[in-house]
Every structure is written in C-alpha cells, then in structure tokens.
Amino acid sequence: MSKRNFIRLSLSNILPGLIIILSSAFAQSQIIEFDSEKWDIQYGKVVEYLGQKSFWGRASLRDVEFENGVIEYDVAFEGGRCFAGIFFRLQDPGNTEHFYMRPHKSNLPDALQFQSIINGQSSWQLYSNEGFAEAAKIPHKEWIHVKMEISGTQVRVFLNNSETPAIEIDDLKRESQKGRIEVGGPGNRLAHFANFTYRVDNNLVFKSRKKYKLPYGILDDWKVSQPVKYYDIEPYEYPESDKLNKVDWIDTECEHTGLVNVAWYGTRPSNIPHALYAKTTIHSDKDEIRRIDFGYSDIATVFLNGVQVFTGRSDFRRRDPSFLGIIGLYDSIFMPLKKGENEIFITLMDVFGGWGFIMKDASAVYLDESIEKVWDTGKKFRFPESAVYDEKRDAVYVTNFDQYYPSRAQGIQAISKLSVDGEIEDIEWMSGFFNPTGMELYGDRLYVVDRRGVAVVDPDKKEIVERYGIPNTGFLNDIAIDAKGNIYVTDSNRSIIYKIMEGKTSQWLKDERLINTNGLCIDGNRMLLGNSGDNCLKYVDLDTKEIGILFEFEPGIIDGIKVDDSGNYLVSVFDGKIYRITPGGKETKLIDTSAENFNCADFEYIPSMKLFIIPTMGNCVVRAFRIKDESR
C-alpha cells in the first residue's frame, strides 16, 4: 500500500469519530443568542448596544445542568452603580453560586466578587478576603470579555483574554453539584451581556487546593436555634426558661477559619429581620478575666452565665456611609470566668449581607507535651526579626527591623545582644544597618542582611568590616552560607536567590516556582527554602539547582528553618507556629501562639540546649521555649 493510500484510509477511519467529538464540543461552545428559545427571560430585553446584539436583565438557560466547565460572555457597563454577572450551579433562587462585577468599584479591592447564596442568605459580609473579592479595572461603555473556568470548589476568572486570572477562588462554600446557569444584571439597563457560550468540561486542571487548618483557640463546639422573628424576642435580655425549653438546638460545624455561617441551619423566611440563639461552654481552671475575640454579622448580644457582657451592631452602613460590616475578629470581650464550666450565649440578628459569627480564646497557647516555655523578655525590642546563637561568645544576636520608622536614626535599626537566659546585655549592641532581617554566623563573622545587601560584622570589634551590595532588589530577606563559604540571599519580592562567591554577587536562581521566598537553610548539599507563595517547604540542589517539595503548610509566611540534631526540619509559620517535619514528611506542631497574636519570625534553635529563641517581630518581644529533658 502506498503512503498516500494509507493516509487516505487512516483519515477515513478517524474522521467520523473526530467529527462527532468536535461537533459535540462545538455545539456546547456555540454562541447562544439571548433571543433564542434556549433562554427563559425573567425580565429585560434584547437590544443593540455598542454595535452588538445584547441583553439587559436576568435570564435562565433552559434544559442545562452545569457543574464543571467553562462559561464565557461579553459584558459592557453604562457606568452607574450596579451588580452584574453569572449565577451557576443554581438549585433555586436561594441556593446558588454568584460571580459579579461592580463597575462603580473599578480598581477597588471589591470590584470583582464571589458569594455563595445559602438558604436565601447572601454571604459577602462573611467571605470578603482574597479569592472572594479582588480589584480590577472595569471600564465603562466598553465590551469586556469574561471567561470562567469552574471545577469542584475552585474557580478562576480571566478578563479580556488575559493569561493571568483576575480572581481565583479555592474554596466555594456550597457542595459541588449540577445546577442551572443564569445571567443577571439590573433592570435599569446599566449592564449588557453578549456572546454567551458554555461547555461542560470535567478535565480542567487547577492547582492543588490549599491546606487549611482550624486556627488554635477557636471556639468551635456551638449549638444554634432555628431563626425567630426579631420582634418576638428581647435581644438585650437573657431568654426566659420557658422560651429556651421550646428551642430545638442544632449542632453546628464551623468552617476552617472558625466561622459559623448560621445560614446553613435555618432559612430566613422573609425580609423581616430575624434572630437566633447560639450557645457553647468554656472551661477555666480558676476565677479569671479572659479576653475573647469576637466577630459577628449583624447585631449581637453576648451573655456569660446569663449576664450580658457585650452588645454591638455591625450591619451594613450602620457606623458610617462606607461601613460594610465585614465579619472578622475585630472586637474583644473581657469575660469574668468562674472556675469550672461557663456558658457563653449569643443572640444574633441578621439584617443584610451575611449571617454568622466567630469567637476565639485570645489567651490560648498550644505547646506540644514535649515543649515548655522558659522565658520572655517583655516588650523591649523594635520589631525583632531574626535571632542567631554565637556559641563562641555564648550570646544571642537579634536584628531589629524598624519597618514602620525607616527614616529614624540608624541606631534604632540595630542588632541587640542577649544571653541564652533572656537577659538583655545591650539592646543596641550594633547600629549602622538599614532595616536588618536575616543573619548567619560563619568563620567567626556575623553576616547580616539589610535593604542594601549583606554586611559582614566582626563581633569582637563590634564593627562592619565589609559590605556586599546587591543593587536593584525587591526585598532582601534571609541568608544561608554553605560549607564552602558561598552566601545565598532570598529576594522575597522577585523570586530570586542571589549568590555571593569570592566577593562577587550574582543572580544564582530565578524561577517561577519561587514565590515570595523567605527562610533559607543549608542541609548538606541541599538548600531548604520557605516558599510562602505556595506555602511549601522546598529544596534546591546546590549543584543541579533541581527544585522539589518537602512539605506543604497552611497559608502563611514560612519564615525560619533549622535542622535539629536528628535530621528533622524545624520550620516556623509567621503567625505563631513552629513545626517539626521529618524527612519522610511527618508533621508535628510544637508551638502555636497564633491565638494570642504572638508572631514567630526567623527563630534560632540551639541543639545542645534544645532551646528555641523566637523573635516575635510585631509583638516586640523575644521568647524562649525548650524541649523538655525527659530524664529530669
């Protein structure tokens, strides 16, 4: 058989199946005109706008069950205040996912917004952080192309064919399930839609979902009541026993942030304001005053053991015309706990935008059973960022990163010296640095990173004996030195690791997999790297520059990295945690001070003493914890 005939025969066998596949895909991706029978129009009209046949109003796509895939459309805005976008996985008007654009918020942090509508309740006051709201330029009287890719609990949205998503969401709140698609804009012609297409696609590839953990100290064992009409209760009084006896309590499950979204536990049947009750217990080993951080939406009264201890209003525009009422741990209650069990009881009313609450014990500190606290300097430092132990001189050096006052005298931006017992020997032991961060000892010299490069310090003379400048940087951060004396410095803002070799500085590694690089540590022939952009502890082979992942943390800044005397990795996450990670990837949380808002920056670990020395940066304190001596 000739080559030409073979090709003809092969194509004749392949083409029918290929045509069927392509035809199916094309049918789903064809433009669905708004004046076709495929749409149910709730309100609105098909008109000519900016040279295109378009639709203003709200319309539902008929006979479509959509879960995963791609939705594309063009949208143009007249310029007034409006909310226009797409409802998808719509079960009914009270249960759907909603993405919308706000042209009156162009370039502001909430120009693009996602919300899950649950049992008739919108949720934008509960979910307003990164991934639920983003800034974007939204021009007026111009067509904007929107492409949404949806898979499971993840979505990314591209504007005007950009290769970079304008907004990405990792954590849709409703269960992934098939539902309808609707376009939705206001009834005053301020938004127009055109060129709508969709296609089902269950093979979209997304980045792996982030690893979320419930923050330590969160009160998570709540029961809630069914909603009741607000005018049927006394919101500032603890309910009488006959009313409480009629309540059917529902066990709740808080989200990974600690939020209890009460919309999951009852439907608000009308626009009349409704309230519900929530209760839990908290234990105390003694009579004490304890700080409890609290966030709520929209109106709350808190009772402790039946006595009112807090009332607040956080509803939309309540405090000033621009007040949004976004939920967060923004209020604190100093609760007079008695020894034993204490009841916390909340009356919570919803007005608009989300119904929920979050509560945290601000005094909670987690220490693994092997860890004990040793000392605390008190608030003596100016944003302490990094600590290093000098065994020869039996001293600890701490950098003071005076980030909020960079124009002040350089003496404030100093290195402090203290003992391993926590005694401050000299709070301004050495000056002459410009916001110093990471440090490393090598060959009886102390190497200090600041905004200009690396300063080499003679600890005995207390003077800078050499400087290695690194020009045109973003944010120089941490430092590590290998066995040959080569110096490595991370640039957190530019995905770069610099190398200083024989006095010459070069850009050693620049890679898109290095995202917000921070902590560094040399372990044999590998460099350990804290990659805060994707929350991974990574390694880089010093010879081949091969990059790999050792462990993935929850979202946060991976700051300090050390290797203990058993070859395990000790890693700090800046919000207050230190983990031990085995080479095989087993994780043990050793310390967690995040509930009391104590940070953990670039710590030191002294194997001979099994001692952690922790600069807390924003708290202006240095702390020490020790692995207990089990022989004692």
pLDDT of residue 229: 83
The amino acid at 61:
L
Question: Domain of 471?
Answer: 366-627
Give yes or no for a contact between 415 and 422, defined as CB atoms under 8 angstroms apart.
no
Is 5 a member of any domain?
A: no
Of 122, 546, 417, the C-alpha closest to 298 is: 122
Give the pLDDT score at 632.
44
Q: Domain check: are 459 and 349 in the same one?
A: no
Closest C-alpha to 377, from 622, 33, 23, 61? 622
Residue 36: C-alpha distances to residues 31, 49, 71, 196, 200 (Å): 10, 18, 18, 12, 20
Mean pLDDT confidence for 470-477: 92
CATH code at position 83: 2.60.120.560
Q: Do 296 and 404 fall within a single domain?
A: no
Q: For residue 66, is it left (φ>0), alpha (ψ between -120 and 50) or beta? A: beta
Q: Looking at the structure, tell me whether residues 380 and 323 fall in a common domain.
A: no
- Whether residue 442 lies inside any domain: the answer is yes
- Given 3-state DSSP classes, what are the helix, strand and coil percentages for the chain, each rounded to the nearest 5? 5, 45, 45
Inter-residue contact 448 to 454 (CB < 8 Å): yes
Task: Please check whether residue 437 is in contact with residue 450, taking contact to mean a CB–CB distance below 8 angstroms.
Answer: yes
Within 13 Å, how many C-alpha atoms sit on residue 40's CB side? 9
Domain edge (last residue) among 333, 361, 389: 361
In the prediction, which pLDDT does 22 show?
38
Once rounded to an integer, what is the mean pLDDT over residues 256-271?
85
Whether the Cβ atoms of residue 167 and residue 128 lie closer than 8 Å to each other: no
Provide the 8-state DSSP code for 399: E
Q: What is the CATH number of the domain that holds 485?
A: 2.120.10.30
Provide mean pLDDT across the span 4-32: 45
173 is a domain residue: yes
Confidence band, pLDDT 50/70/90 cuts, at residue 235: confident
Indicate whether 159 and 172 sit together in one domain.
yes
Judged against a pLDDT cut of 80, whether residue 31 lies above it is answered with: yes
198: CB partners within 8 A, 6+ apart: 28, 29, 32, 61, 64, 66, 69, 70, 71, 72, 181
Place of tokens 């954590």: 171
pLDDT at 49: 97
* Pair (238, 378) in one structural domain: no
In the predicted model, what is the mean pLDDT of residues 464-482? 95
pLDDT digits over 507-528, tens only? 999 999 999 999 999 999 999 9
Over 50: is that where the pLDDT of 246 sits? yes
pLDDT of residue 93: 84
| pLDDT band of 269, cuts 50, 70, 90 | low
Looking at residues 313-328, what average pLDDT do you find? 90
Residue with tokens 């919803």: 350
Sign of CA dihedral 224, 332, 625, 445: positive
Q: Is residue 463 domain-resident? A: yes
pLDDT confidence of 15, banded at 50, 70, 90?
A: very low
Angle at 430 between CA 429 and CA 433, to 5 degrees: 145
- Quote the CA–CA distance of 480 and 177 in Å, as a whole number: 49
Beta strand extents in 135-273 (DSSP E only): 144-151, 154-159, 167-169, 180-184, 191-200, 223-224, 228-229, 250-251, 260-261
**Residue 102 pLDDT > 80:** yes
Residue 220 has pLDDT above 70, yes or no: yes
Is pLDDT at 21 greater than 50 in this prediction?
no
pLDDT in tens, 575-631: 999 999 999 999 999 999 999 999 999 999 999 999 999 999 999 999 999 999 754
Q: Is the pLDDT score of 4 beyond 70?
A: no
Residue 241 confidence class, pLDDT cut points 50, 70, 90: confident
Does 178 fall in a domain? yes
Do 306 and 168 share a domain, yes or no? no
Judgement on whether residues 480 and 590 belong to the same structural domain of the protein: yes
Q: Cβ(301)–Cβ(277) under 8 Å?
A: no
CATH no. for residue 229? 2.60.120.260
Residue type, 317: R
Residue 67 to residue 177: CA distance in whole angstroms: 6
Residues 352-366 pLDDT 10s: 899 999 999 999 999
Among residues 367, 386, 361, the alpha carbon closest in space to that of 281 is found at 361
Spatial distance between the Cα atoms of 279 and 283, rounded to a whole number of angstroms = 14
- Judge contact between 332 and 293, C-beta under 8 A: yes
Based on the domain organization, do 445 and 541 belong to the same domain?
Answer: yes
Please tell me the total count of domains within the chain. 3
Look at residues 166, 200, 234 and tell me which one is the last residue of a structural domain.
200
Q: What is the mean pLDDT of the chain?
A: 91
Is residue 212 over pLDDT 90? no
In this structure, are 161 and 133 located in the same domain? yes
pLDDT tens digits, 150-168: 999 999 999 999 999 999 9
State whether the Cα torsion 453-459-464-467 is positive or negative: negative
User: Is the domain of 105 the same as that of 149?
Assistant: yes
Same-domain status, 191 and 227: no
pLDDT confidence of residue 401: 87
In a domain, 4, yes or no: no
Q: Do the domain assignments include residue 65?
A: yes
26 by Cβ neighbours in 10 Å (0-12 / 13-18 / 19+) ranks as exposed
What digits encode the pLDDT tens for the residues 360-389? Answer: 999 999 999 999 999 999 999 989 999 999
Strand partners, 283: 341
3-state secondary structure 374-397: EEECCCCCCCEEEEEEECCCCEEE
Q: Is the pLDDT of residue 14 over 80?
A: no
pLDDT given for residue 232 in this prediction: 82
Structure-model confidence comparison of residues 128 and 178, the more confident one: 178
Residue 405 has a pLDDT of 52
Residue 174 pLDDT exceeds 60 = yes
Identify any residues that bridge with 467 across adjacent strands, giving them in sequence order.
Answer: 455
pLDDT, tens digit (0-9, with 9 covering 90-100), for 497-510: 999 999 999 999 99
Residues 182, 40 share a domain: yes
- The answer to whether residues 79 and 141 touch, using CB atoms and an 8 Å cutoff, is yes
